[in-house]
Amino acid sequence: MIQLLDLLDRLVSSSAEHLPADQFTLLAQTAKKLRQRRAYSGVLIGLAGSTGSGKSSLLNAIVDEQVSDPGATRPTTSRPLVVVPPGVASRLERMWAELDIEDIVQRETPGSLVLVDLPDVDSVAADHRRQVNDLLTIIDVVVWVTDPEKYRDRIMHDQFFRRLIAHEHSYVFVLNQVDRLDQAELAMVTEDLEWALRRDGFSEPEVVTTAADPPAGPPVGVEDLVEAILAKAEAVGSGEKRMRTEIKRILGTIGPSLAPVGFSDRWDVVRARAAADWEREPHAARQELVAFIAALSEEAPELSVSLDVPSEPTADIGRHLDSTLGRALREGLRPRARSRALATELELALSEEI
């Protein structure tokens, strides 16, 4: 496991210069998450959502005990609350300290899962939303809670869901407070929420309907939710198996950005042709070089190279091109090649038996 994490850290360092920003962020977050989670092989479940969606009530219903006060003393979730089984609490102390989480309750949970009630995503406090983003990077399964009024909230869809499609395998969506709807309304709202999630990019969104704290009677749909969470937790896996799955997934995401561009063979052809045409048609030779740089930059956007050629014909144009433009292009592509080698080494390490 240590070898895999070391290789992943080296890949993060190497790829900072050339990976697209969104892919690099995802890679760096994955590496950080796996480092933080090394001491704990279990599954972390996060409850996320907007103010008033009923996350705290749902947490209470899941553990069948009031561990979070959804009433007047805690009308909104302004800081994370963790419910952790007593048997694993000590293994997570360092991680909670690094994440600045102080509200920790020890209780038995379904499947011995660790449950994290995240701050409200629509909080006006920037620090609360930053903490949600930080915590989402280490959570294995996200239970996103919404209600009949806020299920189409633009903050959720634009600022969270559409940026997290790469993690769609780990999401369960909850339409809570369905006791406020009749059967026809419930069917319509559920269908509309599923449609909105598909528009965001989720291929098969899983929506569970619940009423965590109805005015009368016991909670509704909580058993179905727990079943869905346990199924996701089982699919995610634990320990080294989960780590290997996450590394394979991130390598699959960034793989196209590390693809070789076949520079050497292409450059030899273009340089030889330009050198042969230089004395007779220098303008055409220059345009061919410009087109080559443009085509190469399309495949490797990290390149930033200007054309350096003599203004007058010269017998040494081939050598000049190789020592200036050719060298600059090789240097520009070197980080990509280094990252590709590290990714290949990671793939070989992942192919070994656990």
All structural domains of the chain: 42-237 (3.40.50.300), 261-351 (no CATH)
Picking from 249, 252, 254, 221, the residue whose alpha carbon sits closest to that of residue 236 is: 249
Q: What is the pTM of this model?
A: 0.65
List all residues 6 or more positions away from 192 whose beta carbon is below 8 Å from its beta carbon.
Answer: 151, 152
Distance CA 42, CA 112 (A): 8
Residue 45 β-bridge partners: 115, 141
- Are the C-beta atoms of residues 184 and 241 closer than 8 Å to each other? no
Per-residue pLDDT of the chain (354 residues; tens, 9 = 90+): 678 889 999 999 999 989 999 899 889 988 887 887 777 777 889 998 888 889 999 999 999 888 876 643 444 557 889 999 988 888 888 888 877 888 999 999 998 899 999 888 766 556 666 777 777 777 888 899 999 998 888 777 776 676 666 667 788 999 999 999 999 999 999 999 999 999 888 888 889 999 999 998 999 999 999 999 999 888 877 667 778 888 998 999 999 999 999 999 999 999 999 888 887 888 888 888 989 999 999 899 888 887 766 666 566 888 888 888 899 999 999 999 999 999 999 999 988 755
- Are the C-beta atoms of residues 259 and 139 closer than 8 Å to each other? no
Question: From edge to edge, which strands make up the β-sheet containing 207-209?
Answer: 103-106, 81-84, 114-117, 44-49, 141-146, 171-175, 207-209
